[in-house]
Chain A
């Protein structure tokens, strides 16, 4: 005998264990006795750690004091953050003269303005903007940060950088608002819409030349006071070293990777041994090599200051890691691309530049960001050589007369600072990875 109902049974609501918080907790945290014990142990550990940090770092901490003794007299158990606050300027800017800090801030601001167009959707010619960042921004920043007398070369490059910055900004605003590029816009100003590309380009170049000359004349009238590199320090110096490191490591790394894959035996052997050499030694030995041996390599009388030695060492070291990243990216390009380019008649460099590299770079970007994160962390090693980067500044707090013995709080602050920077960047790189992988539909 079968019982048949004419209408379907209405679906019952989900059981309590699937929907409510208690149900979730039971499934995830207490599903078995062992699991329950684990949860309790984990809860205990978390509670002890968080409570300890809260009590030490916030509840008992001293936020305002004039010296470490005063911190002790207020509350000996808590953290003495007052020392960090007193040294904030040093930690971020080093011993840069306080009245010239606007130059550092201006340099950082101009970098942001320069690079923002890379993220705006309707702006064209992003690659050119990126290239100008790498090649021209260093001159603008270099002069802003160090100042002093300008030689002819510096004047030309500074003018070029300022013209480029202005041009980029105008191009970006035009692109966002009207969707056109700067040359198009300028041509339309002269009433020549939709003309031949060559005319656009000529008008564009003409206006560039005009602005170049006028800005050159303008910048000849002022110069900034010199600030010696010995006063650069803190987070500012960390970013200078790692920024230059990553910016020059990319072109060098591309050359090394191409050399390693090259059919020319000599190039392959040289590049492979160079890459393997720098990848198998610690960064600290490379830095030591830079400070002890580079001066010996220079011809008589040619003196490199310590900052330049360190930057060169960091660039060489990072170029080898970047070369491996590039090699990995190149390996993902199917052979068909190479063969296709060869069929069309492109030579080696044209193939690389027009067909292979644009595709490979897209694959490599998350790894490049990863490289930048580890370079940022590795920059702390320059404190061992004696440069006053962030870590050295933090350790110097404990050696200052007023704050003698304040060792732990600066280290915790430094750890927090790096954690924030690296965590945000690695989240961003993961986001980039997802965005790029969804773009490839194979």
Chain B
């Protein structure tokens, strides 16, 4: 092959490939250049990431995505939601396919250290439970000896089920599915005796069953499930940004700032913490690489943590109906675990 041919082909290849690939650089720069945030969820699931009739996404995890978009762009709608199956979500995140994973992913040590992703801070503390038919007569998870339990593959639920079965000598056989819709459909047809997943998802799914009154959630909680957003490992600036977005929402509730009174608070509040958070004083925004209105935009457009909880999970219209009182999702001042480090 002549040298000229070789050179031409190399140049041609480079020119063809270059437009396809994104440019190098840190995640924040990439996101700003792209003009919108790319968030990754799984198949729509009630309360956390769901689709309404017009094709718009809503839910507690979507609220986190919108908050980050509001922080970076000042507009919560500058986001693109990608649906990736639970089996492939970590690979897709680690390889840069999306900027943020917000799909009720449980923060575990092996995921944090081995899969090339970083978990930030939980935005919902949950536990795993079982759904059974009331007519089966089972009243406790310890009665599931030899049962077949449906579970979604690639989740911590699969591992916790195996641990629970081993610990109590229950000989449970797991039937794994990629899509939770197929999992629930199999359970409804009698293909397995119980379904196991985080209790919040159990509650959401029962609502969508044909006869919700026929099913019940067993009382046992067999694991800890801190659910939270995750980002790709290796970009600390981006990780800080997402982490402090979540903390800003929690902090806002602690300080009593809501989407309704944030304008008033920004103009008139004398509380130094409020003023620092909303950018009136201090320069906290510089460390994140954002504008000084970043927290103000979050609270104004998305709301604080409590508002979002009630809207999607709590007692709002169309929410899941899981009471916040007495659970771990309360603020630390009320006995729960929602605690934001000081924003100063």
Contact = CB atoms under 8 A, between A and B. Distances in A.
> Which A-B residue pairs are the 4 nearest by beta carbons?
A301-B24, A295-B95, A303-B96, A303-B22
Nearest to A138: B16
Contacts of A291: 88, 91-92, 95
10 contacts: A153-B15, A291-B88, A291-B91, A295-B96, A296-B95, A299-B24, A301-B24, A304-B21, A306-B92, A308-B20
B185 A306 contact: no
Contacts of B22: 301-303
Interface string A128-157: 000000000000000000000001011000
B84 A386 contact: yes
B115 to A, nearest CB: 11
Contacts of A151: 19
B43 A304 contact: no
Nearest to A399: B181
A292 interface: yes
Interface of A: 151, 153-154, 228, 230, 291-292, 295-296, 298-306, 308, 385-386, 399, 401, 404-405
B23 interface: yes
Interface string B57-99: 0000000000000000000000010111100100110111100
B25 interface: yes
A13 B156 CA distance: 83
A399 B208 CA distance: 13
Given A386-B88, A399-B179, A399-B181, A302 B43 contact: no
Contacts of A154: 19
Contacts of A404: 181
B1 to A, nearest CB: 8
Contacts of B85: 386
A366 to B, nearest CB: 30
B30 to A, nearest CB: 8
Nearest to B55: A95
A300 B24 contact: yes
Contact of A230 (B24, B82, B185): B82
**B interface: dominant SS:** loop
A301 B91 contact: no
Given A153-B19, A386-B84, A386-B92, 5 more contacts: A303-B21, A303-B22, A306-B97, A308-B20, A404-B181
Given A230-B80, A399-B179, A302 B24 contact: yes
A302 B96 CA distance: 9
Interface string B197-227: 0000000000000000000000000000000
A304 B20 contact: yes
B95 A292 contact: yes
Contacts of A386: 83-85, 88, 92
Given A151-B19, A153-B15, A300-B24, A385 B88 contact: yes
B82 A405 contact: no
A308 B18 CA distance: 12
Greatest chain A CB density within 10 A among B84, B91, B97 is at B97
A241 B195 CA distance: 38
B37 to A, nearest CB: 14
Interface string B18-54: 0111111100000000000000000100000000010
Contacts of A304: 20-21
B25 A305 contact: no
A418 B327 CA distance: 53
A386 B83 CA distance: 8
B42 to A, nearest CB: 11
Nearest to B16: A153
A302 B84 contact: no
B91 A292 contact: yes
A305 B20 contact: yes
A295 to B, nearest CB: 4
Nearest to A349: B1
Nearest to B25: A301
A154 B15 CA distance: 9
B91 A302 contact: no
Nearest to A307: B20
A301 B30 CA distance: 10
Contacts of B15: 153
A302 B25 CA distance: 9
Contacts of B96: 295, 303
A299 B23 CA distance: 11
B227 to A, nearest CB: 22
Contacts of A302: 21-22, 24
Nearest to B178: A384
A300 to B, nearest CB: 7
A404 B82 CA distance: 21
Nearest to B22: A303
Contacts of B82: 230
Contacts of A299: 24
Contacts of B94: 295
A357 B88 CA distance: 43
A305 B83 CA distance: 14
A190 to B, nearest CB: 33
Nearest to A309: B95
Contacts of B23: 301
Interface in B165-201: 179, 181, 185
Contacts of B19: 151, 153-154
A399 B44 CA distance: 10
Contacts of B80: 228, 230
Nearest to B234: A300
Nearest to A291: B91
Contacts of A303: 21-22, 95-97
Interface in B269-313: none
A228 B25 CA distance: 21
Nearest to B23: A301
Greatest chain A CB density within 10 A among B80, B88, B94, B179 is at B88
A20 to B, nearest CB: 55
B24 A305 contact: no
